[in-house]
Structure 1
Amino acid sequence: MSQPTVVRIIARLNIGGPALHTMHLSHGLADSYPTVLVTGAVDEGEADLFDEVVARGVHVVRIPELGRRISPWQDGVALAKLVRLLVRVRPRIVHTHTAKAGTLGRIAAVLAGVPVRVHTYHGHVFQGYFSPVLTRVILAIERTLARATTTLVTVSEGQARELVDEFRICPAPKMKVVPLGLELDGFAPARSAGLRDGMRAELGVGAEPVIAVVGRLVPIKDHALLLRAAARVAAAGQEFRLAVVGGGPEEPALRALCARLGLEGRVSFLGWRRDLDRVYAGADIVALSSRNEGTPVALIEALAAGRAVVSTDVGGVRDVLRGGELGLLVPSGDEAALADALLTLLRDPALRETLGRRGAAEAPARFGVARLLGDVRRLYDGLAPGKRAASRNLTPSLTDS
């Protein structure tokens, strides 16, 4: 490969918005900004995008100690390996993604003397993840790191306001907004219409509407809220099937909750799926019940697929749904409001069609890969003008992390 201009760092390539984002940037900008992508290992039970990223020709360096969890010993080892890699590669830009990689990667970039340091917040861990005391410590670290960062990026306007005004991470001029960019063509209703019957046959449903939820089965996604709302919908006499797509440590507890709520016959746990085009084609509604989000990939994909959506009003969701123009918003943690919104959509096919048509018309231009690549190319051009890669090959020097 050419002399890398960018070293991009992310803690893990688990299936989700941040990993897809880094994959598209690393591959799509290779012509003007050759990139080395550094990552750690996924958590147990998570699906891994590593092979797909490598198959696209991205040069990936895996540092096993660079995981999501906090571990002083492993974090120290990962930091040392990152510094060694950056000294050897000498990139113009280090671009970090997500909290753990953002902390270790930016410290390593400072120690290695990398001139341009960029960090993207795909969400944040300042609410709903840790105790108040630990959250205050993390905020102090983030504010310090922000002063050592050339540019901070977030994936939605709402999250940018939150980080600047509520959490005081940095002054507003230092924060840029670059929304996610995804490969959405395969979800277009015209391309996926033929998949609907097959997916519904797999679920064993007839005419009843299908609600889908796509995401990791972890506490922050609050699937339990959705199940409790679904129980209210069932109590109201409304027919439906709920398809839960994803995996994670909460699955046993969620299955037990289904049993307690009497939902076993209405809920299907489908695990991780690669055929999300089929999932969305077979659904009538896509729901999200998270306590916190950056920019939820599932909602963007659902919009592109022409599906009506309902979501808790957290993080960047309001920006994705244009304040409720493209889907229904409910307060976080409010199962009654979520149930009412689901009932509204379940009982009104015309509203579902209207919302789905709006989403399918807007999503590709707002959240497509081409827009993402253009945004980040312009960002890099402004930060490192005239410093694009030379032609010499450094592949051998990158293999030892």
Structure 2
Amino acid sequence: MIPVARLIARLNVGGPAIHTILLTQLLNPARFASTLITGTVSPSEGDMIYLADERGVTPRFIPELGREIRWQDDPIAFWKIFRLLRQLRPTIVHTHTAKAGMLGRLAAKLAGVPILVHTFHGHVFHSYFSPRKTQIFLGIERTLAKFSDAIITISPKQRQEILGYGIGTPEKVRQIGLGLELQPFVECDRLRGTLCRELQVGDNVPLIGIVARLVPVKGHVYFLEAAQIVAQFFPNARFLIIGDGELREELEARADKLNIRQNVIFLGFRRDLPEIYADLDIIALSSLNEGLPVTLIEGLAAGKPAVASNVGGVGDLVQHERSGLLVPSKDSRAFADALCDLLRRSPEERRQMGLVGRDTVYPKYHIATLAQEIERLYDELLISRGISTT
């Protein structure tokens, strides 16, 4: 058995947590002994430990490991990761997300781990921090890349971005997409009507949904400003905000100020996403920065057309005018125009766009595909180091 340690800063609601839990469970257990190491979720975030429990994955927790830079906790987290790696003696350490990528790879190098792999699920090189802090993070990532054996990006566009920032080399930076359990979304048509009954709306009411954490980088303010414009032409439309986070109260106040509170419904964190996608007419994404957004993969797998800001790997998922419409980031008017455009099209035309989207993401981003591609990469790295693959 080949021991693998997988590190992620926290199992908060989102694609990286789903990805790492499923990969820990499903990476060929006949060949790899996988251990998931993670930190703590902040009180304002949803926790996906329930998914780990459902999948039979028992993480090793390091309470001091989290997303934010904390000068008191980070050295403790580093020391605990180092000691745990010395105990586990993995052949491969695979890190996910920025903080775990920095502390995990440094600790693994110090612990003498033979193979180091890091996955960028997104990046923090714009729309997150000040220019000075961003340059510091870039310098750290460029250094870490030099002693990483492989760097994984989750879309072709993201690979171009990472190389463009001077991180790694074309030979070292690979592209392997996300892996998700998509079958429930592919089959969600049988759940149609569930959400409409909950909301007490008829099937003639347009439902436009955005599924994302309520944090600045997701750009919900632009979604609300677009909703105000769309509501002038489609006054019965409902705009569903699925997710929670630090901006909840601010966004609710913004909806009130825009005088669209009657059109906007905050649903909070939900675990019944197939039921929600089943009744949506359009899936929306207004992010300022993205890797490969899970909400678009799920929504497209559910057969829904999308309107999304054209950032990161979004253009690798949404084919403009074929499976949805792409708009510039931070442009509320363009976002509103695209939503109105889709709402004016016939249900059959929207359905056909949804089917194109489904064919784009399924089975390409199904977890079984990811597990096979990661296994092939690990084998390649093991062979290159002269380490047995059995």
TM-score by shorter chain over 0.5? yes
Distance 1:77 1:328, change over 3 A: same
**Partner amino acid for 2:129?**
F
Structure 2 residue matching 1:286: 3-state secondary structure: strand
The question of 1:362 aligning with 2:363 is answered no
The question of 1:336 aligning with 2:337 is answered no
**Partner amino acid for 1:97?**
H
Which deviations, in whole Å up to 9, do the C-alpha atoms of 1:60-102 show, x marking residues without a partner? Answer: 1000101011101100000000110111111100000000000
Distance 1:323 1:149, change over 3 A: farther
Q: 2:221 aligns with which of 205, 216, 224?
A: 224
Structure 2 residue matching 1:173: 3-state secondary structure: coil
Q: Which moved more, 1:320-329 or 1:174-183?
A: 320-329
Which residue number in structure 2 is paired with residue 399 of structure 1? none
Q: Which moved more, 1:376-385 or 1:347-356?
A: 347-356
Q: 2:250 aligns with which of 253, 269, 274?
A: 253
Distance in 2 (alpha carbons) for counterparts of 1:23 and 1:72: 28
Structure 1, unpaired ranges of 5+:
390-401
Compare relative contact order (CA 8 Å, sep 6+) and give the higher one, 1 or 2. Answer: 1
Distance in 2 (alpha carbons) for counterparts of 1:20 and 1:52: 8
The answer to whether the Cα contact below 8 Å between 1:5 and 1:388 also exists between their aligned partners in 2 is no
The question of 1:152 aligning with 2:148 is answered no
Q: 2:20 aligns with which of 16, 19, 22?
A: 22
The question of 1:193 aligning with 2:189 is answered yes
Which deviations, in whole Å up to 9, do the C-alpha atoms of 1:292-319 show, x marking residues without a partner? Answer: 0001000000011011111000001001
Structure 2 residue matching 1:127: 3-state secondary structure: coil
Which residue number in structure 1 is paired with residue 209 of structure 2? 212
**Partner amino acid for 1:352?**
R
Which residue number in structure 1 is paired with residue 114 of structure 2? 115
The 5 Å alignment of 1:1-400 reads 5-29=3-27, 30-165=29-164, 167-188=165-186, 191-206=187-202, 207-322=204-319, 325-349=322-346, 350-385=348-383, 387-388=388-389
The answer to whether the Cα contact below 8 Å between 2:22 and 2:55 also exists between their aligned partners in 1 is no
Distance in 2 (alpha carbons) for counterparts of 1:268 and 1:383: 48
The answer to whether the Cα contact below 8 Å between 1:4 and 1:34 also exists between their aligned partners in 2 is yes
Distance in 1 (alpha carbons) for counterparts of 2:196 and 2:45: 26
The alpha carbon displacement at 1:31 in A equals 2.5
**Partner amino acid for 1:108?**
A
The answer to whether the Cα contact below 8 Å between 1:327 and 1:355 also exists between their aligned partners in 2 is yes
Distance in 2 (alpha carbons) for counterparts of 1:156 and 1:325: 19
The answer to whether the Cα contact below 8 Å between 2:319 and 2:325 also exists between their aligned partners in 1 is no
Structure 2 residue matching 1:67: 3-state secondary structure: coil
Which deviations, in whole Å up to 9, do the C-alpha atoms of 1:261-313 show, x marking residues without a partner? Answer: 11111011001001000100111000000000001000000011011111000
Distance in 1 (alpha carbons) for counterparts of 2:171 and 2:69: 31
The alpha carbon displacement at 1:18 in A equals 0.5
**Partner amino acid for 1:56?**
R
The answer to whether the Cα contact below 8 Å between 1:33 and 1:388 also exists between their aligned partners in 2 is no
TM-score of the superposition, structure 1-length normalised?
0.93
Structure 2 residue matching 1:168: 3-state secondary structure: coil
The answer to whether the Cα contact below 8 Å between 1:238 and 1:343 also exists between their aligned partners in 2 is no
Structure 1 residue matching 2:32: 3-state secondary structure: coil
The alpha carbon displacement at 1:388 in A equals 4.9
Distance in 2 (alpha carbons) for counterparts of 1:179 and 1:239: 38
Distance in 2 (alpha carbons) for counterparts of 1:245 and 1:382: 40
Distance in 1 (alpha carbons) for counterparts of 2:234 and 2:90: 61
TM-score of the superposition, structure 2-length normalised?
0.96
The answer to whether the Cα contact below 8 Å between 2:323 and 2:355 also exists between their aligned partners in 1 is no
The answer to whether the Cα contact below 8 Å between 2:64 and 2:73 also exists between their aligned partners in 1 is yes
Distance 1:324 1:76, change over 3 A: farther
Structure 2, unpaired ranges of 5+:
none
Structure 2 residue matching 1:332: 3-state secondary structure: coil
**Partner amino acid for 1:328?**
L
Distance 1:279 1:55, change over 3 A: closer
Structure 1 residue matching 2:127: 3-state secondary structure: coil
Q: Which moved more, 1:343-352 or 1:12-21?
A: 343-352
The alpha carbon displacement at 1:181 in A equals 1.0
Distance in 1 (alpha carbons) for counterparts of 2:129 and 2:335: 25
Distance in 2 (alpha carbons) for counterparts of 1:192 and 1:164: 38
Distance in 2 (alpha carbons) for counterparts of 1:192 and 1:91: 40
The alpha carbon displacement at 1:56 in A equals 2.1
The answer to whether the Cα contact below 8 Å between 2:309 and 2:329 also exists between their aligned partners in 1 is yes
